[in-house]
Copies of this chain bind each other. A is one copy, B any other.
Amino acid sequence: MPVTIYDVARESGVSMATVSRVVNGNPNVKPSTRKKVLETIERLGYRPNAVARGLASKKTTTVGIVIPDISNAFFAEVVRGIEDIASMYHYNIILSSSDKKVEKELSLINTLLEKQVDGLLFMGAEVTNDHLEIFKTSTVPIVLAATKDPSKMFPSVDIDHFQAAKDAVNAFIQGGHRKIAIITGPLTDPLTGLDRFNGYKAALEEANIPFDEQYVRVGDYHYESGLEAMNDFLSLAEKPTALFAASDEMAVAAIHAIQDNGLQVPQDIEVRGFDNIPISSMVRPLLSTVAQPQYDIGAVAMRFLTKHMNEEPITDQFVILQHQLINRQSTK
């Protein structure tokens, strides 16, 4: 039913090859015939079939994205970065959310590969051997974003979570704090959970502040878990004087818990979050945090992927973007 390249060829009195050339901007076409073809394309309303093109050329100009959850503000911003660069290089993206379920991640990767994406951007909590196995079956490049492959087999772009957390805690230590609490992410998350927690411990250790388990609570990055964790801290005989939360949502929740207990931020307890998502500058007091360049993580990862897809020379397979301590009103 729809008009094909063959119809255009017949109607313009040229061959398919010529039509293909004008459609693809090949310069080897006489201006007059180009014009003629363009006119009948317009007249017939011809729309090239990208699927057929993909089969013939073995390129789909589509990349696959696996992400934990698009409704999470952090990842939404990363995806925005990905999209902008993808669009710039004329790629479309197939987006899929995994909820960090390994089974689903593997299945999504497989589906994306079946769809013949030209490249894959993977975001997840962890890169396991199962991931590696399936990555290896791919004939197209794979780049990890906001995560890392411990085996160093696949390129990645991320920040240094350990150092970022350490910097955050050090800032508290410099400020004279010794009772510093932390709300971590799940310790099963190697980077956003464990690495940040280790950064916390390392900072304490270097300052000769004994590690105290009562100042540690595990959250899930979301608001509710921050509320609960902070209330636990608040019921301690020796309340912490500073709190580092592994996510902004948990930090904001902690501030509310503190305020609800009649204490003040930052006067009584200083609070610092992690990520610098939009909400951190939409609350009072404005949230101090450790900023991750979310948009850039996405943008750089996508640009990185295009380099791999085009087989451009690549200097470093593991790019670490800079984090930044942002001091607003929840710290002194």
Q: Which residues of A contact B (CB under 8 A)?
A: 1-2, 45, 47-52, 54-55, 60, 62, 69-73, 76-77, 79-80, 83, 87, 92-97, 110-116, 137, 139, 223, 249, 252-253, 256, 259, 278-279, 281-284
In the complex, what residues of B have CB within 8 A of residue A139's CB?
A: 1-2
B279 and A256 contact, CB distance less than 8 A: no
Give A298's nearest chain B residue, CB to CB: B71
B94 and A92 contact, CB distance less than 8 A: yes
B94 and A252 contact, CB distance less than 8 A: no
In the complex, what residues of B have CB within 8 A of residue A51's CB?
A: 51, 54-55, 60, 115-116
Interface centre among A92, A252, A278 (most CB of B within 10 A): A92
In the complex, what residues of B have CB within 8 A of residue A71's CB?
A: 73, 76-77, 79-80
**How near does chain B come to A115, taking the closest CB pair, in angstroms?**
5
Given A1-B139, A116-B50: A96 and B83 interface contact (C-beta under 8 Å) = yes
Give A48's nearest chain B residue, CB to CB: B114
B114 and A47 contact, CB distance less than 8 A: yes
Given A1-B139, A51-B115: A93 and B94 interface contact (C-beta under 8 Å) = yes
In the complex, what residues of B have CB within 8 A of residue A281's CB?
A: 223
Given A92-B94, A93-B94, A95-B95: A69 and B62 interface contact (C-beta under 8 Å) = no
In the complex, what residues of B have CB within 8 A of residue A49's CB?
A: 55, 114, 116
In the complex, what residues of B have CB within 8 A of residue A79's CB?
A: 70-71, 95
In the complex, what residues of B have CB within 8 A of residue A62's CB?
A: 94, 115
Complex: A137 Cα to B62 Cα, angstroms: 23
Complex: A50 Cα to B51 Cα, angstroms: 9
**Contact among B83, B92, B95, B253 for A111, CB-based, below 8 A:** B92
3 closest Cβ pairs, A-B complex: A71-B80, A95-B95, A76-B76
User: Mind listing 18 A-B residue pairs with CB under 8 Å?
Assistant: A1-B139, A2-B139, A51-B54, A51-B116, A55-B55, A62-B115, A70-B70, A70-B76, A71-B76, A71-B77, A72-B76, A76-B76, A79-B95, A83-B95, A87-B97, A223-B278, A259-B284, A279-B279
Copies assembled: 2
Complex: A223 Cα to B2 Cα, angstroms: 47
**How near does chain B come to A114, taking the closest CB pair, in angstroms?**
5
B87 and A80 contact, CB distance less than 8 A: no
B96 and A87 contact, CB distance less than 8 A: yes
Give A137's nearest chain B residue, CB to CB: B45
Interface centre among A71, A279, A284 (most CB of B within 10 A): A71
Complex: A115 Cα to B50 Cα, angstroms: 5
Complex: A96 Cα to B137 Cα, angstroms: 28
Complex: A228 Cα to B315 Cα, angstroms: 47
A83 and B54 contact, CB distance less than 8 A: no
Give A60's nearest chain B residue, CB to CB: B51
Give A295's nearest chain B residue, CB to CB: B71
Given A80-B70, A256-B284: A137 and B95 interface contact (C-beta under 8 Å) = no
**Contact among B1, B76, B94, B97 for A94, CB-based, below 8 A:** B94
B47 and A113 contact, CB distance less than 8 A: yes
Complex: A112 Cα to B113 Cα, angstroms: 19
Complex: A259 Cα to B79 Cα, angstroms: 35
Give A75's nearest chain B residue, CB to CB: B76
